[in-house]
């Protein structure tokens, strides 16, 4: 197209005459970095983004919370040993068998206790004691006593049942699910931010090209005005006006260069760590090739995939567990305990343990305990708090569901609006191009001035910038819709750990 050839030629002339620009691009001429695709940027961001790296610790912490909760059902090993010695100053009876009775005893106890799913505590213990004295009546001196005991203590009301006993474990498991959902939220946010940063950089670079071209035209008008003044066709005011145009165009170039650098830093901060001076290859706009979104399908996707919504549902499951525990805590403490033990007594420890299976010596015990706090005021208040918290979060979940519908409606509408905006902006740019061509033809025929040609060119470049901005807005709207749907991971074939 003639206009594009003119634009390219003018811009090439400007670049050739701009030493600073040539110096800035000298390294790129030696080894230009490869084209940077959006998919590559997202892959780098998911690997090296700080926010995502920070979020990755949450599942690890949640996993250990499960182990901490399970530890309440782990067996506990205990070992105690006691040594005592007693000497009386005198005997109180001839039956003491000594004028100054003495006794020496050593007791060692080994026990294993474990809490099981029903809430009961099961214990298995063994004890070995050695006793000796100076009585002449003892048959065994020293005497070894050994026993083995099995005990069970089962709560019958408060603390009864696996639902209460395993509530902490189930809550921690749900916490792990929520941690993964939070990590997914961070990943979706990083993808959306990377998409926006990528297209913002593409826009900034395209805008810089537009500003450089306008600067070239302003310089051409300035030179033409000076020539016309020297020939008496133009005045000093015309030259001054053209010079002001050069200054304004140069200012726009400087601002556009700053915008490019800022957008590059923003993208580099998302896809790397401390790599702000790394070169970035060419970026480009991609054409929108998806079908026009439909509210019903997008809303269904959002409710199925939106991690914030799913996390809120999981939080309610946790609160239901808390409510169940609080309800159980309103009951009195009623415990049933039982123990059965066998023992042996011999001159040696080994003989005493060998005697235990014979069953000649045994003990058993059954106990029932009841504890009732008068009024249950604290437990009932805790139950009411748990119930109110659950009801509050259920209302909050309904609010989130409505917000999702509102956000999806707005996002779908935004995509539809920006699709039409891109079409209109492209049509406006086409009309501005035709307007420029007509004005340029009039200039070539001597029926117009370079100033009017420049005005037409400025209108054309403004239309082109507007078209670029419309495309950026469309991509941002699409990214926002995919973020709400939670479908960005599927679009880029991302599998989270």
Q: What is the pLDDT of residues 81-106, one digit of tens each?
A: 999 887 776 555 555 555 566 778 89
| N residues, the chain | 497
CA pair distance 63, 45, nearest whole angstrom: 25
Least confident window among 97-106, 107-116, 152-161, 401-410: 97-106
Distance of CA 428 to the CA centre of its chain: 43
DSSP character string of 148-214: EEEEEEEESSTT-SHHHHTHHHHHHHHHHHHHHHHHHHHHHHHHHHHHHHHHHHHHHHHHHHHHHHH
CA atoms within 13 A on the CB side of 354: 6
List the beta bridge partners of residue 342. Answer: 148, 362
C-alpha distance from residue 364 to each of 121, 149, 246, 254, 396 (Å): 17, 9, 105, 94, 55
Give the pLDDT of residue 137.
64
Q: Tell which wins on pLDDT, 444 or 171.
A: 171
C-alpha distance from residue 183 to each of 59, 259, 309 (Å): 8, 32, 14
Give the pLDDT of residue 31.
63
Q: What is the mean pLDDT of residues 342-371?
A: 90
Give the pLDDT of residue 22.
37
**Would you call 17 exposed, middle or buried from its count of C-beta atoms within 10 A (0-12, 13-18, 19+)?**
exposed
CA pair distance 246, 216, nearest whole angstrom: 9
Q: What angle do helix axes 167-230 and 38-48 make, rounded to 10 degrees? A: 130
| Count of beta carbons in the 10 Å neighbourhood of residue 323 | 18
In sequence order, which ranges of 285-333 are alpha helices (DSSP H)?
295-305, 307-328
Is the predicted pLDDT of residue 152 greater than 90, yes or no?
A: yes
Rg of the chain taking only CA atoms, in angstroms: 42
Q: Which residues contact 230 (CB under 8 A, 6 or more apart)?
A: none
CA pair distance 146, 127, nearest whole angstrom: 6
CA atoms within 13 A on the CB side of 90: 1
CA pair distance 473, 196, nearest whole angstrom: 9
Least confident window among 64-73, 274-283, 332-341, 475-484: 274-283
Is the predicted pLDDT of residue 454 greater than 80, yes or no?
A: no
Least confident window among 13-22, 37-46, 62-71, 201-210: 13-22
CA pair distance 444, 293, nearest whole angstrom: 48
Give the pLDDT of residue 279.
80
What is the bridge-based pairing of β-strands 333-346 and 143-155?
antiparallel
Give the pLDDT of residue 460.
87
Is the predicted pLDDT of residue 342 greater than 60, yes or no?
A: yes
Least confident window among 216-225, 248-257, 318-327: 216-225
Give the pLDDT of residue 228.
74
Give the pLDDT of residue 26.
40
Q: What is the mean pLDDT of residues 215-223?
A: 84
Give the pLDDT of residue 91.
59
Give the pLDDT of residue 96.
52
Give the pLDDT of residue 95.
52
CA pair distance 351, 90, nearest whole angstrom: 34
CATH fold, domain 2-20+34-48+170-316+391-491, is Outer membrane efflux proteins (OEP) (1.20.1600)
Band (446; pLDDT cuts 50, 70, 90): low
Q: What is the overall mean pLDDT for the chain?
A: 86
User: Could you give the angle at the alpha carbon of 75 between the alpha carbons of 352 and 155, nearest 5°?
Assistant: 95
Q: Tell which wins on pLDDT, 223 or 323.
A: 323
Answer yes or no: are the C-beta atoms of 435 and 459 closer than 8 Å: yes
Question: What are the tens digits of pLDDT across the range 67-87?
Answer: 999 999 999 999 999 998 877
CA pair distance 478, 489, nearest whole angstrom: 14
Is the predicted pLDDT of residue 18 greater than 60, yes or no?
A: no
Band (133; pLDDT cuts 50, 70, 90): confident
Is the predicted pLDDT of residue 15 greater than 60, yes or no?
A: no
444: which 2 tokens?
Answer: 């070539």
Q: What is the mean pLDDT of residues 96-122?
A: 84
Least confident window among 16-20, 252-256, 346-350: 16-20
Domain ranges of the chain: 2-20+34-48+170-316+391-491, 78-115+120-158+336-371
294: which 2 tokens?
Answer: 């439909």
Answer yes or no: are the C-beta atoms of 154 and 116 closer than 8 Å: no
Q: Tell which wins on pLDDT, 62 or 245.
A: 62
Band (291; pLDDT cuts 50, 70, 90): confident
Q: Tell which wins on pLDDT, 489 or 23.
A: 489
The percent helix, strand, coil of the chain (3-state, each to 5) is: 65, 15, 20
Q: Which residue has the tokens 């900034």?
A: 204
């Amino acid at each position: 197209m003639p206009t594009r050839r003119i634009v390219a030629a003018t811009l090439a002339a400007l670049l050739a005459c701009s030493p600073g620009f040539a110096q800035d691009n000298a390294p790129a001429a030696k080894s230009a970095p490869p084209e940077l695709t959006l998919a590559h940027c997202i892959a780098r961001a998911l690997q090296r983004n700080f926010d995502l790296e920070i979020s990755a610790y949450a599942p690890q912490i949640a996993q250990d919370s499960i182990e901490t909760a399970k530890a309440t059902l782990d067996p506990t090993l205990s070992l105690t040993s006691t040594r005592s010695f007693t000497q009386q100053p005198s005997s109180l009876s001839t039956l003491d068998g000594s004028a100054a009775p003495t006794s020496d005893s050593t007791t060692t106890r080994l026990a294993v206790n474990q809490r099981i799913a029903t809430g009961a505590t099961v214990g298995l213990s063994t004890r070995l004691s050695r006793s000796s004295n100076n009585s002449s009546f003892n048959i065994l001196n020293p005497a070894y006593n050994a026993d083995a005991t099995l005990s069970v203590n089962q709560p019958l009301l408060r603390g009864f049942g696996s639902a209460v006993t395993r509530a902490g474990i189930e809550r921690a498991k749900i916490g792990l699910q929520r941690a993964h959902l939070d990590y997914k939220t961070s990943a979706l946010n990083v993808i959306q931010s990377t998409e926006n940063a990528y297209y913002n950089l593409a826009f900034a670079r395209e805008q810089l090209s537009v500003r450089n071209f306008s600067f070239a035209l302003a310089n051409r008008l300035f030179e033409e005005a000076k020539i016309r003044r020297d020939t008496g066709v133009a005045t000093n005011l015309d030259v001054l006006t053209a010079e002001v145009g050069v200054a304004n165009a140069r200012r726009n170039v400087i601002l556009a260069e700053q915008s490019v650098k800022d957008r590059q830093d923003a993208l580099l901060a998302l896809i790397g760590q401390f790599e702000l001076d790394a070169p970035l290859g060419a970026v480009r706009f991609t054409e929108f090739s998806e079908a026009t979104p439909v509210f019903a399908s997008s809303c269904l996707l959002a409710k199925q995939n939106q991690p914030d919504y799913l996390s809120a549902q999981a939080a309610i499951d946790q609160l239901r567990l808390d409510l169940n525990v609080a309800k159980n805590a309103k009951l009195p403490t009623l415990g049933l305990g039982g123990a059965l033990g066998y023992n042996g007594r011999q001159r040696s420890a080994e003989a005493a343990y060998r005697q235990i299976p014979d069953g000649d010596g045994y003990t058993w015990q059954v106990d029932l305990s009841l504890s009732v706090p008068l009024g249950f005021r604290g437990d009932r208040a805790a139950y009411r708090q748990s119930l109110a918290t659950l009801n509050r979060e259920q209302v909050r979940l309904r609010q989130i569901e409505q917000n999702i519908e509102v956000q999806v409606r707005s996002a779908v509408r935004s995509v539809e609006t920006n699709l039409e905006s891109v079409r209109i902006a492209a049509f406006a740019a086409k009309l501005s191009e035709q307007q420029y061509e007509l004005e340029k033809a009039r200039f070539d025929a001597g029926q117009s001035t370079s100033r009017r040609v420049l005005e037409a060119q400025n209108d054309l470049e403004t239309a082109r910038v507007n078209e670029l901005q419309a495309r950026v807005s469309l991509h941002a709207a699409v990214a926002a819709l995919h973020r709400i749907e939670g479908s960005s991971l599927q679009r880029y074939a991302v599998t989270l750990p």
